[in-house]
Structure 1
Amino acid sequence: MLPTKLAAYAEDARNTIRYWRNSALTRIEDPQPLEDGPFQDYCWPVLRTTPLGPHRAPPDRTFLDIFESRRSTRELGPAPIESLVDVLRLALVPRFWRDGDTLRRSRRPALSAGALHPISVLLFADAGVYRLNADESALEELNMKPEVRANWLHKCKRVLPSADGAFIALIADRARPAVAYENYESLVWRDSGALLQTLALAAETYGLGFCPLGILGNEIVDSLPAAAQLLAVGAAAIGLPG
């Protein structure tokens, strides 16, 4: 008979094998296009809106230089909010809108299923919490409880203790994907990965450090009104490289 501790390890191993076997049998259905239906955009709790001024162009660097130089940077210092907004604008602002499209499909640097771009970036900076409204080229200060902001920042810094910059959360509005696709969820997750990569390259373009975090931001969504329409899909740290 196996010693007690060895028997426990063996049982843990069997449970792990069973778990992965069951997970492998879990089927994720393919998304299927639907006829574009009516939808209602999420109404963000905005305190004040500031129109964005002229966009500061990034330094003149080749794409190959940016592509090869990009690294996840874990030691980060505070960066001016103007620099952070420059990065977000480069990554998020639409370059082209599809004429007469009820779902407002657009072309932007990041890949997005159906060109829907349903993910908003929330910026947690020293002065408050902001959402870049890419459609309107405006910066929206959100009405968020101080304890929610403090708890989120504390959680981010537990994940990345050497980061003293700003933190961002990626929050998807389900409304348009849900009326454009059946089984849309996997598409939103793919969009999240594509957007994180685009943000990382945009940060490198402006000489800022960037590091994705292994957390989602569910606490942020839970604190917002009508939270069921939203989905937390990622987070990252951004700032001056240490």
Structure 2
Amino acid sequence: MFPVVTAGDVINISGCFERSVMTWIDLGNPAPKSEWDRYDLFQWETGQLQRLTVGSSPPSPAILDLLRQRRTKRQFWPLSDIELSDFFWHACRCREAWPSEMGFDLEHRAAPSAGAIHPIHVVINRPGNAQWWLYEPHGHFLVELPTATSLFSGLRSHSQTVLDAPDATRLLLLAEPGKTLAKYSDGCSLVWRDAGALLGVMALTAEGLGLSFCPLGITGEPWASSLAKQGKLMGVGLALLGSASGTSVR
């Protein structure tokens, strides 16, 4: 028997729809430009460098099994260096690069990206340490961002209010929109879609490696964009990553 929908129900549904429409932000319809712009990449102020080991290939379930098994996990223990390296090796490493007319290389990585541009940088903060590190996908290493230590001090505490996980490693997705906008008009939604695709690949990678992974609802703003002037960098997401047990730190 079908439920009876009253006039009051219709009014409530209509009001909800109107509120949704009012808060929806139209980012336009992206399209490739007839002539691509040249873009000067953001120049990072860097400190010490930390090499990561070449990622291993442990036995893991087939992709369809991973899709069935994937769950958001909210219990974290500190990652070992090997676990962190394996995660980045499989989820974020650049596998191939080739030059473009826009002044920067196009790339092949595990996650899809509009125009093979990959405008999303990953910056991490490990538990018990105030330093933030940029993952370099071309050489598979971490490089310290000295100014981020003070600029991002509020971001860590803010993320703790969302999910209290002191032993998790924080992964900040930091977009460089100018890369995508060099090729596409109305390209902002492509940057957000790139961020979502990367989070999806990260989640499946963590599942395949037996790690805990949880995307948070916050973007990292207003702290993320303070790292650069003139809107060159914007926060587009933050996630937590950790070991699924307390015996892996080495």
For residues 21 and 223 of structure 1, do their structure 2 counterparts lie closer, same or farther at Cα, with a shift above 3 Å needed?
Answer: closer
Alignment of 1:94-109 (within 5 A): 94-98=94-98, 100-102=99-101, 103-109=104-110
1:198 aligns with 2:201: yes
Write the mapping of 1:145-160 to structure 2, written as runs, cut at 5 A. 145-160=148-163
Deviation at residue 212 of structure 1 after TM alignment:
0.4
Correspondence 1:93 to 2:93:
yes
Map of 2:58 onto structure 1: 58
Match of 1:235 among 224, 227, 238: 238
Q: Distance in 1 between matches of 2:21 and 2:119?
A: 33
Alpha-carbon shift at residue 14 of structure 1 (Å): 10
Aligned AA (1:70): R
Bigger strand fraction: 1
| C-alpha distance in 2 between matches for 1:62 and 1:23 | 40
- On the 8 A contact 1:42/1:175 being kept in 2, the answer is no
Determine helix, strand or coil for the equivalent of 1:82.
helix
Q: Which residue of 1 aligns with 2:117?
A: 116
Q: Distance in 2 between matches of 1:137 and 1:53?
A: 8
Aligned residues: 228
Deviation at 1:163, TM superposition (A): 5.6
Question: Match for residue 139 of structure 2?
Answer: 136
1:33 equivalent in structure 2: 32
* CA displacement at 1:50 relative to structure 2: 3.3
State which drifts further: 147-156 or 107-116. Answer: 147-156
Give the one of 219, 224, 228 matched to 1:225: 228
After superposing the two structures, state which structure 1 stretch, 194-203 or 73-82, moved more: 73-82
Which of 188, 197, 211 in structure 2 is aligned with 1:185? 188
Native 8 Å contact 1:148 1:219 kept in 2:
no
Q: TM-score, normalised by structure 1?
A: 0.84
Q: Secondary structure at the match of 2:231?
A: helix
The one-letter code sitting in structure 1 at the alignment partner of 2:159 is C
Distance, in Å, in 1 between the alignment partners of 2:230 and 2:172 is 15
Whole-angstrom CA distance in 1 between matches of 2:81 and 2:55: 13
The amino acid across from 2:42 in the alignment is Y
- Residue 167 of structure 2: which of 148, 164, 169 is its match? 164
The percent identity for this pair of structures is 29
Of residues 139-148 and 82-91 in structure 1, the stretch that sits farther from structure 2 once superposed is 139-148
Q: Separation in 2 of the partners of 1:61 and 1:22?
A: 43
What SS does the aligned partner of 1:37 have? coil
Q: Residue 7 of structure 2 aligns with which residue?
A: none
Structure 2 unaligned spans of 5+: 1-12, 246-250
Q: Residues of 2 paired with 1:61 and 1:15: CA distance?
A: 45
Q: Deviations over 1:164-206 (max 9, x none)?
A: 3111110011221111111110000000100000011111121
**Distance (whole Å) between structure 2 residues aligned to residue 197 and residue 222 of structure 1:** 23
Q: Which has the higher helix share?
A: 1
> Judging changes above 3 Å, is the alpha-carbon distance between structure 1 residues 158 and 22 closer, same or farther for their aligned structure 2 residues?
closer
Q: Does structure 1 retain, via aligned residues, the 8 Å contact 2:225–2:232? A: no
Contact 1:111–1:194 (CA under 8 A) maintained in structure 2:
yes
Hey, what does 2:8 align to over in structure 1? none
Task: Give the AA of the match of 1:48.
Answer: Q
Is 2:217 aligned against 1:214?
yes
